[in-house]
A and B are shown apart, each in its own frame.
Chain A
Amino acid sequence: MGSPLYSIPGTAPATTPVAEPTADAAAAQASPSTEARTVSEVLAQSQAGAVMDELDRDLVGLTPIKARIRDIAALLVIDKLRMNLGLQAQAPSLHMSFTGNPGTGKTTVALRMAEILFRLGYVRKGHLVAVTRDDLVGQYIGHTAPKTREVLKRAMGGVLFIDEAYYLYRPENERDYGQEAIEILLQVMENQRDDLVVILAGYKDRMDTFFRSNPGMSSRIAHHLDFPDYAPGELLRIADKLLEQHNYRFAPGARATFEEYLTARIRQPNFANARSVRNALDRARLRQASRLFADQDRRFTAEELTAIAACDIRASRVFQAAATQGPS
């Protein structure tokens, strides 16, 4: 194999082929920052700084997470400089675990993380494939490996986000197919670091247990990020942002009502941080629409169409439940 000889029977052999080094191909794929020698050059070439600034701006709170991401980015930029000078050969392991309660922004941050890794040249495409156990694990023998491989192939070039990753491991059932998925994952996480980054997400305590029983997985996770619950003030600011995104705003007095609402909601079961805020606002928009709909002959102003009124929030069941239970 290798170079063909282009030998034509009956003719003198062609001039000895000079094999062409195939460096071309590799060069065509080179990352944008091959030549960078300073941090600002890397940041300028990659525009990763812009993504980090956006993350700061768009996401409320999450101070420790944002700091961690800057640290990781700094490490990656320096690694890039080291690689450019030949001080480091192998790409660092970048697999991560994002722990925290539902609605604390894990998926949202993972999306931004994929973008940052892409800008810095640590993944080639920068997309995020979000899955859960059902996407990876099959129902019968021989079903799991192709399913897991299929997901891995789709995620290559980007980030694989596995939500509630601990469900992959079910010690109570020793023939659970989840183990097979874990093994395939481990192999790819180790051998194809250049091809994808895996982020495992879920509740902190369950993830800790999972890592304790799966030391192989634990040892391959380079960064653990723990997402705190949002303080009520932060939730309120998240509400402002979400409304703004959809061209709504709180009418005078409504914001205070929403704060009251949050105080009650946090104490109730299944509170899910920013997600609960989002759901509450979705319902408030529905109520606003019904309220306006009743007024069939009125020409609404833009003001009226964008305002969420206190009554739209007050009608929530949360207040009734709080009233019947009484303050606890």
Chain B
Amino acid sequence: MMTNPVSKITQGQFSFLPELTDAEIALQIEYGLSRGYAWSIEYTDDPHPRNTFWEMFGMPMFDLKDAAGVLTEVRNCRKGFPQHYIRLIAFDGTRGVESIAMSFIVNRPASEPGFGLIRQEAAGRTIRYTVHGYATDRPEGERGIETS
């Protein structure tokens, strides 16, 4: 189990709050839609802080008017990947931004094993650091499955 104050991975906009309900998620989606963002759903079993490219659950959703469409896909994704991390990402295509404007986690595995820090001593007291995800000790496709 992770030992930070919330005992879970703290990526995304709302990791320090109680998990958002679907109604609360819908309000965030609406906020993004009202600003013209396109929502996208991504999932992974390897939440390393530098693992940028989670798997895409379908394409980014353009031209939606209402949160229900996005929420439907979130539910589909949870059904397919109940023990994965799933996040919602909003893209802003405005010139000068052209990047992600919102990002938050909407599903987590039942237990979050977290990361270890591997230190390799080098010259002059320097240390090379590797953040190692315990989740990736198991091969791809077998992670996030409950043991014990």
B-binding residues in A (CB < 8 A) = 1-9, 19-20, 22, 25-26, 28-29, 124-125, 127, 146, 149-150, 152-154, 156-158, 192, 194-196
- A6-B6, A20-B18 in contact; A154/B27 too (CB < 8 A)? no
- Are A4 and B27 touching (Cβ within 8 A)? no
- Are B108 and A1 touching (Cβ within 8 A)? yes
Asked whether any CB of chain A lies closer than 8 Å to the CB of B66, the reply is yes
- Are B65 and A5 touching (Cβ within 8 A)? no
Asked whether any CB of chain A lies closer than 8 Å to the CB of B61, the reply is yes
Within 8 A of A (CB), among B1-60: 3, 5-8, 16-19, 21, 23-24, 26-27, 58
Residues of B within 8 A of A19 (CB): 18
A184 to chain B, nearest CB (A): 11
Residues of A within 8 A of B65 (CB): 125, 127, 154, 156-158
Among the stretches B67-75, B94-102, B127-135, B139-147, the one at the interface with A is B67-75
Residues of B within 8 A of A6 (CB): 5-6
Known: A153-B70, A156-B65, A192-B68. 16 other contacts (CB 8 A): A4-B18, A5-B5, A5-B6, A22-B23, A29-B23, A124-B66, A125-B66, A146-B58, A149-B72, A152-B72, A153-B64, A156-B66, A156-B72, A195-B68, A195-B69, A196-B68
A-binding residues in B (CB < 8 A) = 3, 5-8, 16-19, 21, 23-24, 26-27, 58, 61, 63-70, 72-73, 108, 110
- Are A153 and B72 touching (Cβ within 8 A)? yes
**Roughly how many angstroms separate A152 CA and B61 CA in the complex, as a whole number?**
12
A108 to chain B, nearest CB (A): 20
- Are A25 and B61 touching (Cβ within 8 A)? no
Residues of B within 8 A of A8 (CB): 5
Residues of B within 8 A of A28 (CB): 27
- Are B23 and A153 touching (Cβ within 8 A)? no
Q: Which residue of B lies closest to A191 (CB)?
A: B72
State the 8 A-B residue pairs at the shortest beta-carbon distance, nearest first: A157-B66, A153-B69, A195-B68, A4-B6, A156-B68, A156-B69, A25-B23, A156-B66
**Roughly how many angstroms separate A109 CA and B37 CA in the complex, as a whole number?**
31
- A4-B7, A8-B5 in contact; A22/B24 too (CB < 8 A)? yes
State which of A1, A4, A127, A156 has its C-beta within 8 Å of the C-beta of B5.
A4
Residues of A within 8 A of B66 (CB): 124-125, 156-158, 195
Residues of B within 8 A of A2 (CB): 18-19
- Are B3 and A4 touching (Cβ within 8 A)? no
**Roughly how many angstroms separate A187 CA and B28 CA in the complex, as a whole number?**
26
Residues of B within 8 A of A157 (CB): 65-69
B61 to chain A, nearest CB (A): 6
Residues of A within 8 A of B27 (CB): 25, 28-29
**Roughly how many angstroms separate A124 CA and B72 CA in the complex, as a whole number?**
16
Residues of A within 8 A of B70 (CB): 153
- Are B5 and A153 touching (Cβ within 8 A)? no
B1 to chain A, nearest CB (A): 11
Q: Which residue of B lies closest to A20 (CB)?
A: B18
- Are A7 and B5 touching (Cβ within 8 A)? yes
Residues of A within 8 A of B69 (CB): 152-154, 156-157, 195
Residues of A within 8 A of B58 (CB): 146
B136 to chain A, nearest CB (A): 22
A169 to chain B, nearest CB (A): 24
**Roughly how many angstroms separate A286 CA and B132 CA in the complex, as a whole number?**
74
